[in-house]
Structure 1
Amino acid sequence: MIVLDNHISKPGWCCSNSDGNGFFGDQYFNPDLWIKGLTKVATMFEGTKNVVGMSLRNELRGPNQNVTDWYRYMQKGAEAVHVANPNVLVIFSGLNYDKDLSFTLNKPVQLTFTNKLVFEVHWYGFSNGKEWETSNPNQVCGQVLGNLMGNAGFVLEQGYPLFVSEFGVDMRGTNVNDNRYFNCFMGWAAEYDLDWALWTLVGSYYLREGVVGMNEYYGVLDENWHDVRNSSFLQKLSVLQSPFRGPGYDEVRPHKVIFHPMTGLCIQRKSLYEPLVLGPCSEAEAWSYTPEKTITIKGTYFCLQADELGLPAKLGVICSYANSKWETISDSKMHLSSTLEDGSSVCLDINSNNSIVTIAFTPQPLSTNSRWVVNESGQRVKLACVNWVAHLEVVVAEGLSKQPVDAISERILDMGFNCVRLTWALFLFTNDTLASITVRQSFENLGLVESIAGLQANNPSIVDLSLIDAYQAVVASLSNNNVMIVLDNQISKPGWCCSNSDGNGFFGDQYFNPDLWINGLTKVATMFKGTKNVVAMSLRNELRGPNQNVTDWYRYMQKGAEAVHAANPNVLVILSGLNYDKDLSFTLNKPVQLNFTNKLVFEVHWYGFSNGEEWETSNPNQVCGQVLGSLMGNAGFVLEQGYPLFVSEFGVDMRGTNVNDNRYFNCFMGWAAEYDLDWALWTLVGSYYLREGVVGMNEYYGVLDENWRDVRNSSFLQKLSVLQSPFRGPGYDEIRPHKVIFHPMTGLCIQRKSLYEPLVLGPCSEAEAWSYTPKKTITIKGTYFCLQADELGLPAKLGIICSYANSKWETISDSKMHLSSTLEDGSSVCLDIDSNNSVVTIACKCLNRNSTCDPGSQWFKIIDSTRCTSATKSSVGIISIFNFMAKNLLASFS
Structure 2
Amino acid sequence: MQLKFCSLLVVAFGVISSHCAWPDAPLVASGRWIHNSKGANVTYAGVNWPGAADVMIPEGLQYASIEKIVSEIKSLGMNAIRLTFAIEMIDDIKDNGGDVRLSAAFNKALGTTNGPVVYNKVLQNNPQFSASTTRVQVYDAIAAECFKQQIYVHLDNHMSKGEWCCSTTDGNAWFGDTYFDVAKWKRGLEFMVTRGATWGNLVSIGMRNELRAPEDNATLNSNSYNWPTWYTNMVAAAKIINAANPDILIFFSGLNFDTTLSPVVAGTGSGITFKKSDFTFSNKIVLELHNYQNSATSCSSMQSSLQSSGFSTLTAAAANQYPMLLTEWGHDWSNSDYLGVYASCLHSYLPAQHVGWTIWVLAGSYYIRSGTQDYEETWGLYNHNWTAWRNAAAIDNLKLMVQATLA
TM > 0.5 between the two?
A: yes
Q: Secondary structure at the match of 1:495?
A: coil
Q: Secondary structure at the match of 2:54?
A: coil
TM-score by length of 2: 0.87
Asked whether the equivalents of residues 538 and 573 of structure 1 are also in contact (C-alpha less than 8 Å), the reply is: yes
**Which position in structure 2 is the counterpart of 1:458?**
125
Change (3 A) 1:562 1:450: same
Change (3 A) 1:521 1:667: same
**Which position in structure 2 is the counterpart of 1:188?**
11
Asked whether the equivalents of residues 428 and 434 of structure 1 are also in contact (C-alpha less than 8 Å), the reply is: no
Cα RMSD after superposing both structures: 2.2
The whole-number CA distance in structure 1 between the counterparts of 2:100 and 2:26 is: 33
**Which position in structure 2 is the counterpart of 1:637?**
312
Change (3 A) 1:435 1:427: farther
**Which position in structure 2 is the counterpart of 1:674?**
352
**Which position in structure 1 is the counterpart of 2:83?**
422
Show the 5 A alignment for 1:411-490. Answer: 411-432=72-93, 433=96, 436-445=99-108, 446-447=110-111, 448-464=115-131, 465-490=133-158
Change (3 A) 1:657 1:722: closer
Amino acid at match of 1:492: S
Q: Deviations over 1:494-524 (max 9, x none)?
A: 0000000111111111111222111111111
The whole-number CA distance in structure 2 between the counterparts of 1:693 and 1:186 is: 51
**Which position in structure 2 is the counterpart of 1:335?**
16
Asked whether the equivalents of residues 427 and 434 of structure 1 are also in contact (C-alpha less than 8 Å), the reply is: no
Amino acid at match of 2:300: G
Show the 5 A alignment for 1:493-892. Answer: 493-546=161-214, 547=221, 548-587=225-264, 588-590=266-268, 591-592=274-275, 593-609=278-294, 614-615=295-296, 620-621=297-298, 624-640=299-315, 641=318, 642-658=321-337, 662-725=340-403
The whole-number CA distance in structure 2 between the counterparts of 1:478 and 1:451 is: 24
Report how far residue 658 of structure 1 moved: 4.6
Asked whether the equivalents of residues 656 and 662 of structure 1 are also in contact (C-alpha less than 8 Å), the reply is: no
Report how far residue 405 of structure 1 moved: 1.1
Q: Secondary structure at the match of 1:689?
A: strand
User: Match for 1:372 among 30, 33, 36?
Assistant: 33
Asked whether the equivalents of residues 488 and 537 of structure 1 are also in contact (C-alpha less than 8 Å), the reply is: yes
The whole-number CA distance in structure 1 between the counterparts of 2:9 and 2:201 is: 24
Q: Deviations over 1:141-171 (max 9, x none)?
A: xxxxxxxxxxxxxxxxxxxxxxxxxxxxxxx
**Which position in structure 2 is the counterpart of 1:400?**
61
Change (3 A) 1:390 1:375: same
Where does structure 1 lack aligned partners over 5 or more consecutive residues?
A: 1-132, 139-179, 192-333, 337-346, 350-359, 729-866, 868-894
Q: Secondary structure at the match of 1:668?
A: helix
Change (3 A) 1:705 1:565: same
Change (3 A) 1:187 1:644: closer
Q: Deviations over 1:772-795 (max 9, x none)?
A: xxxxxxxxxxxxxxxxxxxxxxxx
Amino acid at match of 1:486: H
Amino acid at match of 1:630: S
Q: Deviations over 1:338-381 (max 9, x none)?
A: xxxxxxxxx268xxxxxxxxxx9431121122111111101111
- Asked if 1:409 is matched to 2:73, the reply is no
Change (3 A) 1:362 1:184: closer
Change (3 A) 1:190 1:658: closer
Asked whether the equivalents of residues 43 and 405 of structure 2 are also in contact (C-alpha less than 8 Å), the reply is: no
Amino acid at match of 1:436: D
Higher RCO, 1 or 2 (CA under 8 Å, sep at least 6)? 2
Change (3 A) 1:518 1:718: same
Report how far residue 401 of structure 1 moved: 0.5
Change (3 A) 1:348 1:466: closer
Change (3 A) 1:677 1:555: same
The whole-number CA distance in structure 2 between the counterparts of 1:190 and 1:645 is: 39
Question: Between Structure 1 and Structure 2, whose CA radius of gyration is higher?
Answer: 1
Count of residues in Structure 1 that have an aligned counterpart in Structure 2: 379
- Asked if 1:381 is matched to 2:42, the reply is yes
Asked whether the equivalents of residues 140 and 199 of structure 2 are also in contact (C-alpha less than 8 Å), the reply is: no
Q: Secondary structure at the match of 2:395?
A: helix
Asked whether the equivalents of residues 702 and 712 of structure 1 are also in contact (C-alpha less than 8 Å), the reply is: yes
Show the 5 A alignment for 1:25-64. Answer: none
Asked whether the equivalents of residues 452 and 463 of structure 1 are also in contact (C-alpha less than 8 Å), the reply is: no
Q: Deviations over 1:233-268 (max 9, x none)?
A: xxxxxxxxxxxxxxxxxxxxxxxxxxxxxxxxxxxx
Asked whether the equivalents of residues 350 and 405 of structure 2 are also in contact (C-alpha less than 8 Å), the reply is: no
Report how far residue 689 of structure 1 moved: 0.8
Asked whether the equivalents of residues 76 and 402 of structure 2 are also in contact (C-alpha less than 8 Å), the reply is: no
The whole-number CA distance in structure 1 between the counterparts of 2:306 and 2:191 is: 34
Amino acid at match of 1:574: F
The whole-number CA distance in structure 1 between the counterparts of 2:46 and 2:163 is: 22
Report how far residue 723 of structure 1 moved: 2.9
Report how far residue 488 of structure 1 moved: 0.2
Amino acid at match of 2:335: G
Q: Secondary structure at the match of 1:489?
A: strand
Is the deviation greater in 552-561 or in 541-550? 541-550
**Which position in structure 2 is the counterpart of 1:160?**
none
Report how far residue 532 of structure 1 moved: 1.1
Report how far residue 559 of structure 1 moved: 0.8
Asked whether the equivalents of residues 428 and 435 of structure 1 are also in contact (C-alpha less than 8 Å), the reply is: no
Structure with the larger helix share: 2
Asked whether the equivalents of residues 652 and 662 of structure 1 are also in contact (C-alpha less than 8 Å), the reply is: no
Asked whether the equivalents of residues 648 and 681 of structure 1 are also in contact (C-alpha less than 8 Å), the reply is: yes
Q: Deviations over 1:571-596 (max 9, x none)?
A: 11001000000010121132253221
Q: Secondary structure at the match of 1:552?
A: helix
